[in-house]
Chains A and B, each alone.
Chain A
Amino acid sequence: MDSSIAIFLAQDGILNGSIYALLAVAFVILFSVTRVIFVAQGDFVAYGGLTLSALERGQTPGSLWVLLVFGIVAGLLELGRARGFGLRQRYRAIILAYFLLPCAVAAAHWLGMGELNGACRILLALALVVPLGPYIYVIFFKGLANSSTLNLLIVSVGVHWVLTGVGLLSFGAEGYRTNEMLSAVYQIGPLTITSQSLSVIVLTVAIMLVLYFFFNRSLEGKALRATAISTRGARLVGISAESAGTRAFTMASAIGAASGILISPITTLYYDSGFLIGLKGFIAAIIGGFASYPAAVIGALGIGLAEAFCSFWASALKDAIVFGLVIPVLIWRSLLSTHPEEE
């Protein structure tokens, strides 16, 4: 193994690692705000990439029907749950967010928004996938807000299987790749960098920065952090835990769909690709103790690099090694931290 191979592997590792990092951050956001370990996080990646690919081929992506159905179910549930003052206003908001929004996205698709240009197509793909996050929260998790973390985990495994099955139905069993949006190639010494992979890393950093400022500077971000620290305390000062949940899920699905769109020109995505990508983000989140964002990001890059080098040295054992790494990390973490009593 010479230095140029090492550089190539490192480049590949950082590229994959930055996608895992995005997902790890989404895992941490969701867990800290809603206590949900959202196994289905990776499915948003597959949905995002496959939706964009369907739009590119001029087809109606299956996620459109998923969006309409989930929107209507979530909307009906919300109408049933609405109580208290200002009912009429609340009904109006629900109809807008759950019935009219999916219809508007569908209308935008049928009016040909996806055929305008690349940017419109990506926006449309995001609009088709991102609302699924809050809808899933409303349908599956909102009613369970007070149950144990274990219950929430079991439900999220169920949601993962639902999304995978629906994905097979809507996108088919074959893999897809999207066209490269950027085709420039830079040559630095022995290193070849494609602008597509560079854009993945740049956008990952940008998304991280936006999240950083959102959580530290904006009122809504601070409200989410407050909910993460103490739901009851946040409620006492007038922060609704439920709207915090909706927001956290929106962010998670947005991060997932964006990751899918970023990697879809680089790799082939399948309806069930999300699980393995998500699992690696999940392990990175574990390295971060499901609490620390920087630790999760560093863990994600570490997993990406470990994976790249393992695929060079022992490709048959790659996944075994990568997932095996989690054991020493868990031992180290449990030695370091003092655990609060089980709930």
Chain B
Amino acid sequence: MKRLLNMLPLLAALPVSATAADVTVCVTVSATGPAASLGIPEQNSVQFLPTSAGGANIRYIVYDDATDPTAATRNARKCAESDKADVIIGSSAVPTSVAAATVAAETSTPIVSLSPINVPANVNQWAFRAVQKNEQMASALLEHMKKSGVKKLGFIGFADAYGEDWLRTITELLKDTGIEIVATERFARNDTSVTGQVLKLVASRPDAIIIGGSGTPSALPVTGLADRAYKGIIYQTHGSATADYIRVGGKAAEGSILPVGPVVVAEQLPDSHPSKALGVEYTKKYEAAFGKGSVSAFGGMMFDAGQLISAAIPDALKKGEPGTAEFRQALRDGLENLREVVSVNGVYTTGPDDHFGHDERSRVLITVKDGHFQYLPL
């Protein structure tokens, strides 16, 4: 209900029916279901997206796909066919995003996904992302390792796709860097103990340990390592950048280092960071509406998607009327040729081979200090 009320000012600000010049942006996010912790802040952020660009009003329609790929397919179809969407934003999780992107490509509608999806070339042609690749995040950790003189790295990750992907990413990045992975351990989200894995990690004497897990489960190896008095560096992935990780990890989580989108620590960024001004403004607006400390990288992704689309609209308007196939094609071309579009999670420069558009400005390192996340300059 609260969420609905929050949407009211947005609905009131919009014209009831679209005039000919309105650009229709259709959003499908996972506001319920397993990915709800991502989808809710994303949905909340729709009200902060630009309402006009290049002289045209932008109209937003929001659907919930309940983290269900079938519902995401249905939503995307509704967007393309009955709402005549010019562009789709969504969805929150990988399976739902792939489903929505497939429909988008089929109906020749550009889509900005909030999840790092891998899709075939014909689908990818229409699919853009407002989210960082794991490689991007891992490269920040690598820089920190080099700077801190790490030579031996231990890895412990989820025994699932998330952990595997991080291990693969890290292994590839470490090639020819002189940093060696000395132990590779796995654990499950639901494990009650990681003593065995931790003992083996510590026995291989790594300078640093990276934990390829997300959310509260990634706190378990941290407490285990603290029990064994491990003194090296602990790296986490951006999946753990939540207040719950600090709550469960407690004292043991102090000092662990995570890569995140800049919006998470917008206020602490140096003034030279391009995302600072927008990030602080977005954080203020978001926290005024949803409470202190509520801002997350996920809502920032939705904000980014809005920035990308509004950056591509002015040129596209010259090539066609919103609601036509020409406009959608022009919008797609625009999204593929973004130059230095600044948003809260980084600066986007896209190209035919790069539908992510991120560079090293799209991630910063943070560390846990006194129970809070603190910006860690590289």
Contact = CB atoms under 8 A, between A and B. Distances in A.
Interface in A264-281: 266-268, 270, 272-273, 275-277
A240 interface: no
A107 interface: no
Interface residues of A, number: 34
B167 to A, nearest CB: 11
Contact of B217 (A263, A268, A315, A316): A268
B215 interface: yes
A316 B190 CA distance: 14
Given A5-B203, A174-B244, A315 B197 contact: yes
A173 B37 contact: yes
Interface in B167-206: 185-190, 192-197, 199-200, 203
Contacts of B220: 267-268
A7 to B, nearest CB: 10
Contacts of B193: 12, 15-16, 266-267, 307-308, 311
Contacts, number: 85
Given A174-B216, A174-B244, A268-B217, A312 B197 contact: yes
Interface in B192-250: 192-197, 199-200, 203, 215-217, 219-220, 244, 248, 250
A176 interface: yes
Q: Count chain B CB atoms within 10 A of each CB in A273, A312, A313, A319 and give the residue with the most.
A: A312
Nearest to A6: B199
Nearest to B228: A8
A275 B169 CA distance: 32
B248 A315 contact: no
B157 to A, nearest CB: 10
Q: Which of A16, A310, A311 has the most CB of B within 10 A?
A: A311
A175 B245 CA distance: 9
A223 interface: no
Contact of A268 (B185, B195, B248): B248
B195 A176 contact: no
A177 interface: yes
Contacts of A268: 216-217, 219-220, 248
Contact of B190 (A19, A173, A270): A270
Interface string A317-334: 011000000000000000
Contact of A273 (B37, B156, B186, B190): B190
B23 to A, nearest CB: 36
A275 B186 CA distance: 20
Interface in B268-283: none
B192 A8 contact: no
Contacts of A309: 196
A287 interface: no
A230 to B, nearest CB: 38
A33 interface: no
What does DSSP make chain A's interface, helix, strand, loop or mixed?
Answer: helix
A15 B224 CA distance: 14
Contact of B194 (A5, A19, A177, A311): A311
A15 B195 CA distance: 11
B21 interface: no
B289 interface: no
A116 B104 CA distance: 58
A9 B215 contact: no
Contacts of B14: none
A311 B37 contact: no
A9 B195 contact: yes
Contacts of A318: 186, 196
Nearest to B189: A270
A270 B219 CA distance: 13
B159 interface: yes
Given A174-B215, A268-B219, A312 B199 contact: yes
B225 to A, nearest CB: 13
A19 B244 CA distance: 26
B192 A267 contact: yes
Contacts of A308: 193, 195-196
Q: Which of A15, A177, A315 has the most CB of B within 10 A?
A: A315
Interface string B148-168: 000000001001000000000
A266 B186 CA distance: 19
A148 B272 CA distance: 72
B195 A315 contact: no
A9 B156 CA distance: 18
Contact of A16 (B37, B190, B192, B203): B192
B45 to A, nearest CB: 21
A316 B349 CA distance: 39
A22 to B, nearest CB: 14
A260 B97 CA distance: 38
B196 A12 contact: yes
Given A9-B195, A177-B248, A315 B190 contact: no
Contacts of A16: 192-193
A307 to B, nearest CB: 8
Interface string A271-296: 01101110000000000000000000
B199 A315 contact: no
Contacts of B190: 270, 272-273, 275-276
Contact of A315 (B34, B187, B189): B187
B195 A319 contact: no
Contacts of A15: 193
Contacts of A275: 190
Contacts of B194: 311
A52 to B, nearest CB: 15
A9 B196 contact: yes
A316 B196 contact: no
A272 B189 CA distance: 10
Given A175-B215, A268-B216, 7 more contacts: A173-B36, A176-B248, A270-B190, A272-B190, A273-B192, A311-B193, A319-B188
13 contacts: A8-B195, A12-B196, A174-B216, A177-B248, A268-B220, A270-B190, A276-B190, A309-B196, A312-B196, A312-B197, A315-B159, A315-B197, A318-B186
Closest 9 interchain pairs by CB?
A311-B196, A312-B196, A175-B216, A12-B195, A316-B186, A267-B192, A315-B185, A315-B186, A315-B197
Interface of B: 34, 36-37, 156, 159, 185-190, 192-197, 199-200, 203, 215-217, 219-220, 244, 248, 250
